[in-house]
Amino acid sequence: MSLMRLGYRIGWIALLMLLTGCSGAGKVDLAKLGEPPSAAQLAEVHNQRVEPLDTLWARISLRAKGTYPDGESYEEQGEGHLQLVKPTNLSLTIGKLGETYFAFGANADQYWSFNLSDADHKTALIGQLGQATPEKADALGLPVHPAELIALTGLMPIDLARAGGTRWADDGKSVGISMPSRWGSVMLWIDPKTNLVIRSQAFDRVGDLVATAELSRYKDAQIKARPSVLVPGKIEITMPGDNGFVRIELSEPRRKAIRPIVFDPPKLMRAYRVDEMIDLDEAFERSSTAPDAQPDGEP
């Protein structure tokens, strides 16, 4: 299997890019640990750390392994770039040998997924954030609202006005803080010794787990004339019921000016010479209003 088929499948990476891991192995006597740090305590230290990083540019390498619903297995590797401008703009590109095969992004108004793997027919799916639904996001492989992807990276400030209480993880190694999302909730887990986000879990509206990832190998993101900010160097993402994983490794992370074109779908379409643009909202509207198919032999 090539990156051609992998393209849309890994749209959910941009999202979860930089969510963090599962609950710990063994349980401990949490009563002996005392009360966990409060939401205010966690937010103060976390927010001070991530505030200087208003943009992020990094090279990435990616490895994905798993099995499709039809039973076909896949294992792929690629490289590309992750680019963020808080609070709304995100761009993720993946390819090989200098060629881009997949591009995902979001800005304040739109979200998109480009499949560039077929040089003879490059396609773009584009939707409006104001019309996003779980079904549309699922068509791009996203388990959360596209506007909330950056929040899941662990690099956005914690909004105390929306945060819930805190609790110890079962292994006693991290403290969880829950925040509502548009389609459910997100639980961030923070190591109280390092004050770094080490685990995150996304849940849907009924409380079912959607995705889990593990964040490790933190490294310095360089900021000109200011102290560096620690960002995850390795992210491994898994989903319930899926025996595969997506592993992302960041290199050369830094704060730098990001070219506006990477967040501009019309300009990206021209730059990538896209052959077909599919309006995601119109496509779903047509699908929902189409008459049911008639049985064979009937008009």
pLDDT category at 29 given cuts 50, 70, 90 is: confident
Is the confidence at residue 13, as pLDDT, over 60? no
pTM for the full model? 0.83
pLDDT category at 18 given cuts 50, 70, 90 is: very low
Q: What value does the mean pLDDT take over residues 119-135? A: 94
Is the confidence at residue 24, as pLDDT, over 50? no
The C-alpha atoms of residue 116 and residue 102 are separated, in whole angstroms, by: 6
Asked whether the beta carbons of 93 and 105 are under 8 A apart, the reply is: no
Provide the pLDDT for residue 152.
Answer: 73
- What's the mean pLDDT when you consider all of the chain? 85
Q: What value does the mean pLDDT take over residues 236-262? A: 89
The CATH code of the domain at 3-281 is 2.50.20.10
Q: What value does the mean pLDDT take over residues 286-298? A: 56
Provide the pLDDT for residue 30.
Answer: 82
Q: What value does the mean pLDDT take over residues 84-111? A: 93
Domain boundaries, the chain: 3-281
Token digits for 38? Answer: 């409060």
Token digits for 6? Answer: 């992998």
Q: Is the dihedral of CA 135, 141, 147, 148 positive or negative?
A: positive
pLDDT category at 263 given cuts 50, 70, 90 is: very high
Q: Which residues neighbour 77 within 8 Å (Cβ) at sequence distance 6 or greater? A: 61, 62, 63, 64, 96
The C-alpha atoms of residue 95 and residue 115 are separated, in whole angstroms, by: 11
> Bigger pLDDT: 89 or 97?
89
Asked whether the beta carbons of 101 and 277 are under 8 A apart, the reply is: no
Token digits for 74? Answer: 């896949």
Q: How far apart are the first and last CA of the chain?
A: 40
Which DSSP string corresponds to 37-77? PPHHHHHHHHHHHHTT-SEEEEEEEEEEEEE-TTS-EEEEE
The C-alpha atoms of residue 227 and residue 236 are separated, in whole angstroms, by: 27
Question: Partners of 223 in the beta sheet?
Answer: 226
Work out the percent of the chain whose per-residue pLDDT is above 70.
Answer: 87
Which DSSP string corresponds to 165-209? -EEE-TTSS-EEEEEEETTEEEEEEEETTTTEEEEEEEE-TTS-E
Provide the pLDDT for residue 21.
Answer: 38
Is the confidence at residue 10, as pLDDT, over 60? no
